[in-house]
C-alpha cells in the first residue's frame, strides 16, 4: 500500500464537473500522500491524483499515453513491471508504473489491465470511446469507490472524497444486517447509501450516457485433486514461494520493518527478511494491549533476539482509545471493526519513525487455513440443512454454529435488532469450491480479507503516512495456495499445516507449535468506558437506541456486567454509534489533519 489517492468525476450534464470540486475531492484524501495533488481536465471528465511527498515526478500523474488516447490515475504498485516492460515495444523514459500502464493500454486496450499484478487501484479514461474504467487489483488491497451524483458519477479511493459533492447520503439500512453479522459490509455495498466499492479483481466501466458495466478479470484457480501434491512437494513450493515474495517486497536501498505479531506468519516473514538482509538488522515492531501485554512483548522480544532483528515495543492504552476512536473512524470511512484498527495505526505511527515501509503477514490465514473456524466448515454446511431435526432444534444448532464461525450477532438476533429479515438481494451467493474448507477459504478471499482486514490496513497506515507491503498476497503465492488441496492446509486438526512445515528450518519449535488465540475485542477497553458506552448506546440522543431493538441492547449490557463476556458485541454497536456521529451528526467529528485542516476537508465535514 503506497501513498496516493485517486479521484474524479464523469459528467453527463452541464455544471456537474468543476475544477473546484476536483480540488476538494483531492484535498479530502491528501493524507494518502501529503504532497498535494495533480489534476487532468478533459471533455466531461476530470481526474485527480494525490502524490507522496517523496514521489518521483519524472512522469507526473494523471498520465497521458503517447498516442493521446488514454489518461490514467494510478494508486499502488505494479509488481510485474519488469516483465511487462520487457514485453512492450515502448521507449520508456521513467520507472513510474503509470507510464507502463498507459503504454500497455495504448498497445493492447483495456484488456491490458488483466496482465497487471500487484496492489493497485486505477482509473483509465479512453478518449476515443468516451469510456472511464475503474479497476481494482486481484485481492482488493487498494480501495476504490464510486457514487452517482446529480449529473454524473464520482469516484475516489476513499468515501470521504465522495461526500464533498452531491446531496448528503443517508445510512444504507439494507447493509446493517451484514455489518451486525461480521462488523463489515461486503463489496460492492457500504454503510453509505448509494456509495459502492469496486470489487476485487473487477473493473467497472462507465459508458457514454452513464451506463455501468462490471467485468471480472480474475479468480483464484481451482484446487488440484488430492494426490497431485505430495506433502513434501507442497512444503517445498510454499517455502520457495514465501522466500521469493519476501525478496520482491524488500527495497535494497532503504530499511524496512516487520510487524512481528508473534504468530507463525509474521515470525516467518521476519526470519525470511532477516536471512535475506544478512548482517543488516531488520527493524521489527510488536504491539500489545490489555492484561497480557507484558507477557506478549517479552515473548516477541525473545523471538527478535533469536532472529537477530532490531526490535521495538509499541503500546496501545486507554489514552489512545479515547484520542483515536473518532479520528480513525473518519479515516476508515466505516466503524472500527476491532481494536486491531487502533493497533494497526499506533504500530504504523511508531514504525514510521524508523522505516518508510513495513511488511505485514495478513493473508496467511485466508490462504493456508489458519482460522480455527475452518475446522468447523463441514459442520457449518450440514447444520443449515439437516432435514431430520425439528425446526427449533435445527435453528438452535445453526445459531450456535454461526456464532462459533465468528458471527457477531446470529441471524435471529439480527432480525430482532433490526425488526426485519435481511434483504434478499444482500445475501451472499454460494461460493464454489472443492470441499467445505476450500469454499470457506474462497469466501474469505472474496469478502473477509478485502472488506475488513485489508481495508483496515489501508486506512490505518495511510493515516500514519506509512507504506505497507503484503508479501503473502503476492499474486503467484495466492494462486499456489489455492491450487493446494485442503489436505495439506488443515491436516489432522492442525491449521496452516503446510505453512508450519515450510517454516521449520527458520523458526524455533515454540513458534511453530504455538496456537495463537482467535482475535477479538477483549475486555480491556471496556473498563474505562463503561458509563460512556451505556450512555452512547441507550441515551436519548443515541442513534443505536433509535434504530435497533433496545431491549436486546440493554440485555447485552446487563449480561456483560454480570460476567457474560459480551465485549465483542458491545464493541460492534459502539463502533457503529461512533461512525454515525462522525459522519451524520449535526456537527460531525472530523479529525484535524497534519498541520491545518484543508478547507476542502472542513467542507466535507459540513456536508457529511
- Tell me if 126 is assigned to a ligand binding site: no
- 6 — phi, psi (to 5°)? -110, 150
Pairwise CA distance, residues 78 & 74, whole Å: 10
DSSP characters for 286-317?
A: EEE-STTHHHHHHHHHHHHHHHT-EEEEEE--
Pairwise CA distance, residues 27 & 501, whole Å: 48
Pairwise CA distance, residues 154 & 161, whole Å: 9
Q: Which residue, 187, 138, 137, 118, is CA-closest to 159?
A: 187
| Cβ neighbour number for residue 443 with a 10 Å cutoff | 19
Radius of gyration in angstroms for the set of CA atoms belonging to the chain, rounded to a whole number: 24
Which pairing describes strands 357-359 and 257-259: parallel, antiparallel, or unpaired?
parallel
| Cβ neighbour number for residue 273 with a 10 Å cutoff | 24
Cα angle 427, 429, 434; round to 5: 145
Cα angle 427, 454, 356; round to 5: 170
Confirm if 194 and 169 have CB atoms less than 8 A apart.
yes
Look-up of cell digits 523514459? 93
Number of residues that this document lists for the chain: 608
Distances from the Cα of 358 to the Cα of 80, 269, 297, 503, angstroms: 20, 11, 19, 21
- The residues facing 330 across adjacent strands are none
* 378's grid cell: 463441514
Confirm if 198 and 146 have CB atoms less than 8 A apart.
yes
* 17's grid cell: 464537473
Which pairing describes strands 145-149 and 195-197: parallel, antiparallel, or unpaired?
antiparallel
* 191's grid cell: 454503510
Pairwise CA distance, residues 385 & 378, whole Å: 12
Pairwise CA distance, residues 506 & 236, whole Å: 13
Confirm if 36 and 12 have CB atoms less than 8 A apart.
no
Instruction: Characterise 318 by phi-psi region: left (phi > 0), alpha (psi -120 to 50), beta (else).
Output: alpha
Pairwise CA distance, residues 598 & 608, whole Å: 16
Pairwise CA distance, residues 130 & 602, whole Å: 33
Pairwise CA distance, residues 414 & 399, whole Å: 11
Look-up of cell digits 520508456? 92
Q: Which residue, 155, 142, 157, 132, is CA-closest to 207?
A: 132
Q: Which residue, 371, 375, 374, 325, is CA-closest to 346?
A: 325
Pairwise CA distance, residues 290 & 383, whole Å: 35
Q: Residues forming the annotated binding site for L-glutamine?
A: 97
Binding residues: 97
Amino acid at each position: 500500500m503506497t501513498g496516493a489517492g485517486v479521484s474524479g468525476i464523469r459528467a453527463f450534464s452541464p455544471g456537474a464537473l468543476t475544477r473546484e470540486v476536483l480540488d476538494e475531492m483531492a484535498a479530502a484524501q491528501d493524507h494518502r500522500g501529503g504532497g498535494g495533488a495533480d489534476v487532468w481536465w478533459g471533455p466531461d471528465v476530470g481526474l485527480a491524483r494525490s502524490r507522496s511527498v517523496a514521489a518521483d515526478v519524472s512522469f507526473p500523474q494523471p498520465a497521458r499515453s503517447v498516442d493521446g488516447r488514454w489518461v490514467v490515475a494510478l494508486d499502488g504498485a505494479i509488481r510485474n513491471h519488469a516483465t511487462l516492460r520487457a514485453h512492450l515495444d515502448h521507449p520508456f523514459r521513467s520507472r513510474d508504473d503509470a507510464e507502463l500502464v498507459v503504454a500497455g493500454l495504448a498497445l493492447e486496450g483495456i484488456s491490458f489491465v488483466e496482465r497487471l499484478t500487484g496492489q493497485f487501484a486505477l482509473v483509465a479514461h479512453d478518449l476515443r470511446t468516451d469510456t472511464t474504467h475503474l479497476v481494482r487489483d486481484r485481492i482488493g488491497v487498494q480501495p476504490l469507490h464510486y457514487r452517482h451524483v446529480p449529473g454524473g458519477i464520482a469516484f475516489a479511493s476513499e468515501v470521504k472524497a465522495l461526500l464533498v459533492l452531491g446531496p448528503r447520503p443517508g445510512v444504507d439500512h439494507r447493509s446493517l444486517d451484514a455489518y451486525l453479522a461480521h462488523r463489515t459490509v461486503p463489496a460492492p455495498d457500504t454503510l453509505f447509501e448509494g456509495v459502492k466499492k469496486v470489487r476485487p479483481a473487477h473493473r467497472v466501466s462507465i459508458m457514454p450516457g452513464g451506463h455501468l458495466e462490471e467485468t471480472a478479470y480474475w479468480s483464484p484457480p481451482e484446487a488440484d485433486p488430492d494426490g497431485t501434491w505430495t506433502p513434501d512437494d507442497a512444503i517445498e513450493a510454499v517455502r520457495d514461494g514465501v522466500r521469493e515474495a519476501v525478496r520482491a517486497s524488500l527495497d535494497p536501498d532503504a530499511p524496512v520493518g516487520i510487524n512481528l505479531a508473534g504468530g507463525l506468519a509474521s515470525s516467518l516473514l521476519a526470519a525470511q527478511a532477516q536471512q535475506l538482509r544478512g548482517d543488516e538488522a531488520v527493524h521489527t515492531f510488536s504491539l500489545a494491549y490489555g492484561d497480557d501485554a507484558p507477557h506478549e512483548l517479552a515473548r516477541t522480544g525473545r523471538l527478535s533476539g533469536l532472529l537477530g532483528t532490531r526490535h521495538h515495543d509499541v503500546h496501545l492504552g486507554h489514552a489512545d482509545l479515547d484520542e483515536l476512536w473518532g479520528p480513525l473512524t473518519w479515516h476508515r470511512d466505516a466503524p472500527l471493526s476491532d481494536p486491531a484498527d487502533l493497533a494497526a495505526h499506533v504500530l504504523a505511527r511508531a514504525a514510521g519513525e524508523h522505516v518508510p515501509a513495513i511488511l505485514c503477514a495478513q493473508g496467511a490465514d485466508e490462504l493456508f487455513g489458519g482460522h480455527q473456524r475452518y475446522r468447523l466448515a463441514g459442520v457449518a454446511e450440514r447444520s443449515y440443512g439437516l432435514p431430520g431435526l425439528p425446526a427449533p432444534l435445527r435453528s438452535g444448532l445453526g445459531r450456535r454454529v454461526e456464532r462459533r464461525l465468528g458471527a457477531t450477532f446470529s441471524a435471529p438476533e439480527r432480525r430482532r435488532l433490526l425488526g426485519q429479515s435481511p434483504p434478499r438481494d444482500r445475501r451472499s451467493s454460494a461460493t464454489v469450491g472443492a470441499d467445505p474448507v476450500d469454499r470457506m477459504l474462497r469466501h474469505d478471499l472474496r469478502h473477509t480479507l478485502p472488506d475488513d482486514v485489508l481495508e483496515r490496513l489501508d486506512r490505518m497506515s495511510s493515516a500514519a503516512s506509512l507504506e505497507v507491503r503484503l508479501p503473502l498476497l503476492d499474486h503467484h503465492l495466492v494462486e499456489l495456495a489455492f491450487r493446494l488441496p485442503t489436505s495439506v492446509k488443515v491436516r489432522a486438526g492442525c491449521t496452516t499445516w503446510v505453512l508450519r512445515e515450510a517454516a521449520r528450518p527458520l523458526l524455533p519449535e515454540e513458534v511453530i507449535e504455538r496456537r495463537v488465540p482467535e482475535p477479538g475485542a477483549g475486555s480491556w477497553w471496556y473498563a474505562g468506558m463503561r458509563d460512556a458506552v451505556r450512555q452512547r448506546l441507550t441515551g436519548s440522543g443515541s442513534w443505536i437506541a433509535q434504530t435497533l431493538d433496545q431491549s436486546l441492547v440493554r440485555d447485552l449490557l446487563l449480561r456483560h456486567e454480570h460476567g457474560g463476556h459480551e465485549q465483542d458485541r458491545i464493541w460492534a454497536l459502539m463502533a457503529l454509534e461512533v461512525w454515525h456521529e462522525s459522519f451524520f451528526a449535526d456537527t460531525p467529528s472530523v479529525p484535524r489533519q497534519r498541520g491545518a485542516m484543508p478547507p476542502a476537508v472542513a467542507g466535507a465535514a459540513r456536508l457529511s
